[in-house]
Each structure stands twice: as structure tokens, then as C-alpha cells.
Amino acid sequence: MLYFSKLKLVLIYFIIIFLSIFSLLNFVENDNNFLLSKKVNLGLDLQGGSYLLLEVDSQPVVKQKLQNKLISLRKALRDEKIKYKELKLTKKAINFKILEEDIQRFDDFFLDKKNLINVYYNRYRSYEMDYSIKDLGDLFPERDLVTITYTKFGLIEIKNSTLDQSLEIVRKRIDEVGTKDPTIIRRGNDRILIELPGLDDPNRIKKLLGKTANLTFRLVSDTEDNFGSELIFFENSEDQLNVGKRVIVSGNNLTNAKPALDNQTNQAIVSFTFDRVGAKKFGRTTTDSVGKRLAIILDNKIVSAPVIREPILGGTGQITGNFTFQSATDLALLLRSGALPAPLTIIEERTVGPDLGEDSIKAGSISLAIGFLLVIIYMIFKYRQLGIIADLALIINLILLIGILTILEATLTLPGIAGIILTVGMAVDANVLIFERIKEEIKIEKSMIHAFAMGYQRAQSAVLDANITTLISAIILFFLGSGPVKGFAITLGIGILTTLFCAYFFARHLSSIYVMKNKDKQILI
């Protein structure tokens, strides 16, 4: 147990030196070099920043899906030769009148698991939609009113999918802004929590998240047809145009969007590129509509409405307007990240000042320093020379821990500091178990070397059991927890691994050197 091969020693000290270098990077100011820029990031509670809680409104999604269901239902009823009247959409349901003689046929069709209109959910063992029938009485004696609504499980599925899509798009938008190490997680069934460390002014983020970014290209109508067109206002203006309801191309067909400067006017613009399908549709429309105006609509507001001078066949185009370069950049960002499936509402907003973070760092550092100093004094007092070895192992343990956190570019929070403090206690506990076991072996063994070897060997199971059980708890906290809880779990988990390394490699090596030099003496422990 006390013998170390040259290869093992090289590996031990290579790991220590390697991670020590990364620990020192936290004190080096160089953001240009990829390697030197690696540092432990500070969380919201230590660095300050912004906290946003968003609510996802899934009602527009439900309405849109009902609209799609209505179109499919109309075709399906015709295919099934089920006679109906007044098929229409309300806020939360589809209503229509049906003959009493067709009710059974409709029931068989609606509850058929192969029916794509009413999808069967294997996950919930329940249908997506349900219907109810109301007798219309003497007013329509031969017909009943059918009301189709989403089931509880259907609504849950819509809410979950809407929230997941919104979460992904929010993450894309924030990542493109360049915010350092944000926290973006879901809260419940309809909320998204965002923590932005170091961001004192969240106004830009709020503007980006406040836009659905639903982009459509539609032709300006020459006639005022209420069925085929609608009046839409310009963005930041009271002017309006009569625009056709038919969507030529949507933002879903965009593959890229980026800010640029117009070569002629030197004004900020947004250049975009369509995918193959979008380029084909756009080319065909611009070819057939030369001389007409094309409205570019974002979130039901006209951004611009240029005249089509010539066919645009390359699948690229430009959005012009009264853009600053910043607003053009933000618009391009919104288009690249995609449209939100549902509107987001900020229901809670907090800004944590840097002064509060500094106070937290100071308090955490003081508590760590006091705990560390008391442990060092106690170990020297209790175990003398071996206590010094344990203290050296403890110092190396903290250096290794910081080094690994630096490589991972982990975020350090106040609970994370608590995890480091707990690591100090766990590291000492491992050495205490080993030293106490060595004490017992010295009483039995005549050979000091053999007593040390047996002490390390027989304490191994107790040390491993204590640390592995704690490691399991840290893993569970990491996967099931969020935010600060994850920060605590990360530092604790890494701290356990470095503790085992220092106890059974570094400290054991120093102990072997010590006992070899004093094998013929009475070692005080």
C-alpha cells in the first residue's frame, strides 16, 4: 500500500501540476486567448445580474391547432359522408350540427385509433380530443349540436410542446446576444426562469423575448376584399395597407438572416436567405407579380412594403426600414432563432446589484478561510507531523477542485461555496479515518511500515463508503435540482473525487516518505 511505481508518481504529480495551472488562470487577465480565458464563472448571487420569470400563453396555440383541426375535420366528414351544418370555430371548441341518424357513425369515426384528427396518445392512454352532444330541442328536432374540445391530456401535451419549443428559442436568442453562462430552465407547465449573471440592463433581452418574431411575406391587395385581405398597420406608424391573407413565404423558410449596410444609401438593412422550398415560392411569386408591392410583416406589423421591380430568383432578399445597426442586428437575431410558438409575458423581474454579490463573496471567503484555518490547526494539534501531511493534502485538494471547475468553466454560486466548505470537512474526515486506523494497527504491529500499510488498506472501505454515498447524493441533486442546487452538487461531487485522489495518492505518498525515514523511530500519532 505504501509502494509507488515511477509511472504512478509521474501521473500523480502531472495531474497536480496540470490542474494547478488551470487554477492560476483565474488570476490571469487575458480574454483574447482561448486557453487563458478559461475561468470559473460567478453566478447571479455572486456577480449580480438580472432575473426574469416568463409565462408562456398557450391559448393562441390551442386556437391555431383547433383551426387546423377544423380544416381536416371538414374534409373527413365529407369523406365519411356525414352530413353537417354550421361548422365553426369558437375560442376553445369546434361546433357543428349533425343529424341524429349520423351520430353513431360519427362516434365510430371519431374514436377510431387510426383517425389522425383525434390522435391516440400511448403515453397517457387517452384521446387527444373529446366531444359532447347537445339536444337542440324543438328548434331543430332532427339535429344535435356537437362540441369538440381538447381533453385534459391533449391540453397538457400542447402546453408541454409549446413550453419546450419556447425554451429552445429563448435559449437561442440569449446565446446569440453573447450573455455569459445564462441559466434557462422551465418552471412548472407554463413558465421559464432566466438568470443572466453580470447583466445590469436587461432591456435588450426583454425586447428580444417580447417579440414572437412571426415573419410572413404577403402581397399588397389592390381591392378591399374583407374575405381575401385585411388592413395592417406599419410598425411605428399610423399608416396602413390592405394586405392579402395568403402567405407567400413565412419565416419558417429562412435559413439565415444577418445585418448589413445598403451599398447605395448606407442604411442598415437585414439580408436573408430562403431554403429551397422558400426560394422556389418566392421566385415564382416575384416573377408573376412584377410591379406589385410585397408586404414584409413581422408580428402583424408591416416592416416594409417594397415594389417588386424584377423577379428575385436567387433565394435571397433584403428587409429595409428605418433601422439602426443595432435594431437590424436584433431583427436578424430574431429571424435566425425562429418564431416563438406563443407569446411570452414577464411576470417577475429582479436585478441583483454587484455590491450584494461582492458582500456574498466576502462572506463566503471569510467562512471558508476560518473553517480552513481551524481545520489546519486541529489536524496539526491532533496528529502532529501526519497532521501537516493532511493539511498539505487539503491545500492541494482545493487547488485541484478549482482547477477542474476552471476547465469546465463552471458557474460558482453561494451554495457552490458551501459545497467547497463541505469538501474541506469531507477531506479531513477521510484522513481522520485513515490515521485512527493506523493508530490501532500500531498497537498490534511491530513493524511501523506494515502498520501504516494495513491502516490505509483497512480504512479504505470506510472512506470509500462514506464518499461514494455522498457522491450519489450529489449526482441526484445535479440531475433533479436546478440553479443554485446544481452549483452545490457540482462543487460537492468534484470535491469528493479530489478528496479521494488526495487521500489515497498524494497524502499516502507523503506518508510513505515520512514513515520510511522514521521506520526505526517511535512515530507520534
Q: Left (φ > 0), alpha (ψ -120 to 50) or beta: where does 52 sit?
A: beta
- Residue 34 above 60 pLDDT? no
Non-local (6+) Cβ contacts of 226 within 8 A are: none
For the whole prediction, is pTM greater than 0.75?
A: no
Look at residue 357 in the predicted model and tell me its pLDDT: 64
Whether 137 shows a pLDDT value over 70: the answer reads no
Domain assignment of residue 149, given as a range:
60-156
500 and 461 within one domain: yes
Domain closes at, from 339, 370, 391 = 339
Q: CB neighbours (10 Å) of residue 7?
A: 8
Higher per-residue pLDDT: 522 or 505: 505
Q: Residue 144: which H helix or E strand, with range? A: strand 143-150
CATH code for the domain of 308: 3.30.1360.200
In a domain, 392, yes or no: yes
* Domains contained in the chain, number: 3
Q: What is the mean pLDDT of the chain?
A: 83
Q: What is the mean pLDDT of residues 20-34?
A: 75
Confidence of residue 233 (pLDDT cuts 50, 70, 90): confident
Residues 333 and 362 in one domain: no
Rg of the chain over all Cα atoms, to the nearest angstrom: 34
Reduce the secondary structure of 411-467 to three states and give it as a string: EECHHHHHHHHHHHHHHHHHHHHHHHHHHHHHHHCCCHHHHHHHHHHHHHHHHHHHH
> Are both 29 and 64 inside the same structural domain?
no
End-to-end CA distance of the chain: 19
Same domain? For 361 and 507 the reply is: yes
Whether 184 has a pLDDT exceeding 90, the answer reads: no
Residues 20 and 88 in one domain: no
Q: Where are the alpha helices (DSSP H) in 346-384?
A: 354-383
Provide the 10 A C-beta neighbour count for residue 484.
Answer: 19
Give the pLDDT of residue 418: 85
Q: Positive or negative CA dihedral for 365, 366, 368, 373?
A: positive
Examine the domain organization and report whether 233 and 324 are in the same domain. yes
In a domain, 259, yes or no: yes
pLDDT band at 443 (very low <50, low <70, confident <90, very high): confident
381 & 271 share domain: no
